């Protein structure tokens, strides 16, 4: 399919997440002279922007209803819409968003049924299988900063020069975990450097440690902030059983960066934790969210949990500017080539990466693995 129209819907039902692109991206789209450009009415209002701001950047922008937006050739949105919104998609159109194929089974079924040509931002990787369309540091730092602030409230001797170092235990050793370690180094330096107060010890735990309850018990007993920055191969199994959380000190904070959901055949890496949002970043042990857990999930042992399903949205404008820089490279491919001809063996680096974000590539990898 040759893309002749592009639609930008607004995000709905995500607790205040602001993910609309700025007028600067629409100004960039002026170069595609035959492209029709549509935005949902009210687009950009979360940033205090008006339709006039977008029209000043690109007079060809047309503002229409949500139903009309989803009838365009290409739909571009930074966060996956809910199923009821996805049902509005025109059969056979193209969708460029964070699809999360491996954890959104019902969405994948819809894509197949409606023959949607999907390009998943979170699956776009380079030739070395490293994610491109991502903001690891902002995700990690936004989350770590809030957890660190909560620890100040719960840890009575936080500023004591005689206490032991603060222990941060990170589940995972990938890019999110590494940026989490850097974040806590920055936060620890800001609080304690040159003050003769012990700082932060950061441990990144691989699977050769987390597999053992015995090893984890000794670690958890000394953990002040427990971070989930994991990436699991088997989503049906947790990494930390709820019974183990009872070994955490009472003042400990659980930081849920991964923010995996409970879904069909899927559990969260730390059993019994719940998912927060931008409107509820801090979840206390008696929060009503625990009432929504599946019945088979044990949640007896609880600590204050810091969680969000949209960490970059904590600093939305900085995040959008970052993603705008990235998305132009991929729009250049999508708007200049038949979407059915995007080639995994292309000489174009961004075209190869874009192909790896397709449902076709996901299915082929699922079969081979």
What ranges do the domains of the chain cover? 5-123+337-368, 136-313
Among all chains, which residue has been given the structure tokens 């012990």?
198
Structure token digits, residue 151? 């620890």
- Of the candidates 144, 151, 145, the one whose C-alpha atom is nearest the C-alpha of residue 251 is 151
66 Cβ neighbours under 8 A, 6+ residues apart:
9, 10, 40, 85, 88
**314: its two tokens:** 């904590």
Q: What are 159-177's pLDDT values in tens digits?
A: 999 999 999 999 999 999 9
**pTM check: above 0.75:** yes
Q: What whole-number distance in Å separates Cα of residue 160 and Cα of residue 198?
A: 8
Question: Do the domains 136-313 and 5-123+337-368 match in fold?
Answer: yes
Give CA–CA dist 289/281, Å, rounded.
12
Sign for the CA dihedral angle at 359, 364, 366, 367 comes to positive
* CA separation, residue 166 to residues 157, 177, 195, 200 (Å): 10, 17, 15, 5
CA 4 to chain centre: 29
pLDDT number for residue 134: 86
**Tokens describing residue 164:** 């032991």
Contact present, 72 and 5 (Cβ < 8 Å): yes
Q: What is the mean pLDDT of residues 332-343?
A: 96
User: Apex CA 360: angle with CA 311 and CA 21, to 5°?
Assistant: 35
Domain 136-313 class, CATH top level: alpha beta
pLDDT band per the 50, 70, 90 thresholds, residue 368: low
Residue with tokens 């200049």, as numbered in its chain? 336
At 242-286, the pLDDT tens digits run: 999 999 999 999 999 998 888 878 899 999 999 998 889 999 999
Class of domain 5-123+337-368: alpha beta
Class of residue 161 by CB neighbours under 10 A (exposed 0-12, middle 13-18, buried 19+): exposed
Confidence of residue 313 (pLDDT cuts 50, 70, 90): confident
82-96 pLDDT tens trace: 899 999 999 999 999
pLDDT band at 1 (very low <50, low <70, confident <90, very high): very high
* CA 262/CA 214 separation, integer angstroms: 26
Q: What mean pLDDT, rounded, does the chain reach?
A: 94
Question: d(Cα 110, Cα 116) in Å, to the nearest integer?
Answer: 8
pLDDT at 248: 98
Q: Are 30 and 24 in contact (CB under 8 A)?
A: no
Given a contact cutoff of 8 angstroms between Cβ atoms, the answer to whether 266 and 235 are in contact is yes
The answer on pLDDT for 99 being more than 60 is: yes
How far apart, in whole angstroms, are the C-alpha atoms of residue 248 and residue 221? Answer: 5
pLDDT of residue 367: 63
Residue 114 pLDDT greater than 90, yes or no: yes
Distance CA 302, CA 272 (A): 8
What's the confidence (pLDDT) of residue 242? 97
- Least-confidence region, from 136-150, 195-209, 302-316: 302-316
At residue 140's C-alpha, the angle toward residues 225 and 14, to 5°, is 100
């Amino acid at each position: 399919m040759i893309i002749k129209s592009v639609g930008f819907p607004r995000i709905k039902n995500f607790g205040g997440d602001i993910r609309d692109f700025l007028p600067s991206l629409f100004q960039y789209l002026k170069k595609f002279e035959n492209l029709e450009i549509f935005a949902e009415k009210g687009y950009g209002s979360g940033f205090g922007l008006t339709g006039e701001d977008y029209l000043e950047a690109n007079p060809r922008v047309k503002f229409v209803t949500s139903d009309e937006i989803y009838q365009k050739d290409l739909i571009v949105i930074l966060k996956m819409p809910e199923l009821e919104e996805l049902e509005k998609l025109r059969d056979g159109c193209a969708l460029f968003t964070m699809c999360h194929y491996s954890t959104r089974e019902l969405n994948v079924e819809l894509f197949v049924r409606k023959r949607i040509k999907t390009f998943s931002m979170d699956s776009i990787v380079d030739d070395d299988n490293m994610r491109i369309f991502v903001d690891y540091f902002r995700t990690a730092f936004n989350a770590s900063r809030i957890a660190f602030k909560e620890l100040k409230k719960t840890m009575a001797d936080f500023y004591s020069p005689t206490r032991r170092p603060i222990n941060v235990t990170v589940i995972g050793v990938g890019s999110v975990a590494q940026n989490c370690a850097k974040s806590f180094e920055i936060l620890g330096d800001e609080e304690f450097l040159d003050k003769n107060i012990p700082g932060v010890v950061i441990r990144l735990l691989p699977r050769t440690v987390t597999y053992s309850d015995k090893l984890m018990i000794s670690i958890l007993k000394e953990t002040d902030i427990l971070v989930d920055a994991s990436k699991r191969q088997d989503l049906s199994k947790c990494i930390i059983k709820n019974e183990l959380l009872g070994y955490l000190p009472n003042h400990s904070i659980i930081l849920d960066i991964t923010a995996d959901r409970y879904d069909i055949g899927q559990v969260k890496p730390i059993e019994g934790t719940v998912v927060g949002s931008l409107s509820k970043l801090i979840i206390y042990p008696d929060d009503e969210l625990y009432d929504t857990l599946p019945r088979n999930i044990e949640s007896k042992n609880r600590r204050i949990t810091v969680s969000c399903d949209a960490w970059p949205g904590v600093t939305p404008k900085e995040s959008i500017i970052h993603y705008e820089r990235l998305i132009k490279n991929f729009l250049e491919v999508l708007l200049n080539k038949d979407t059915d001809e995007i080639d995994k063996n292309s000489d174009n680096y961004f075209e190869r990466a874009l192909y790896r974000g397709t449902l076709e590539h996901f299915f082929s990898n699922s079969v081979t693995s």
